[in-house]
C-alpha cells in the first residue's frame, strides 16, 4: 500500500469537474484507492465519495492506493493534483 498527502491547489477546490477527472483517472487502474480528509475516508473511485469530502482550495488530503498497479495510480493522481486538474495556470 502507498500513501501520500496531497494538497488541493486549484482555484476552485475539489469541485464536481475536478472530482470527475480524479475518479475517471483512478478508475482506469485495478488497485483500490481511497481519499482521507476532514476525518473521513472515501472511495476515490466514487464521484459521490470524493464530493462528500468538500475539499476547498488549500485542503490537505491523503491518497491511499493498494494493489498491483498502485505505483502507477499514485504517480498519475499526483500529476493530476500538481497540474491543478488542468483548470488554471
CA angle 75, 68, 10 (to 5 degrees): 25
Active-site amino acid positions: 15
The burial class, CB within 10 Å (0-12 / 13-18 / 19+), for 33 is buried
Amino acid at each position: 500500500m502507498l500513501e501520500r498527502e496531497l494538497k488541493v491547489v486549484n482555484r476552485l477546490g475539489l469541485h464536481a469537474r475536478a472530482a470527475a477527472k480524479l475518479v475517471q483517472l483512478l478508475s482506469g487502474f485495478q488497485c483500490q484507492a481511497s481519499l482521507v480528509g476532514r476525518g473521513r475516508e472515501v472511495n476515490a473511485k466514487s464521484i459521490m465519495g470524493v464530493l462528500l469530502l468538500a475539499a476547498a482550495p488549500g485542503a490537505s488530503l491523503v491518497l491511499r492506493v493498494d494493489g498491483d498497479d498502485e505505483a502507477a495510480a499514485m504517480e498519475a493522481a499526483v500529476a493530476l493534483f500538481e497540474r491543478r486538474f488542468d483548470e488554471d495556470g
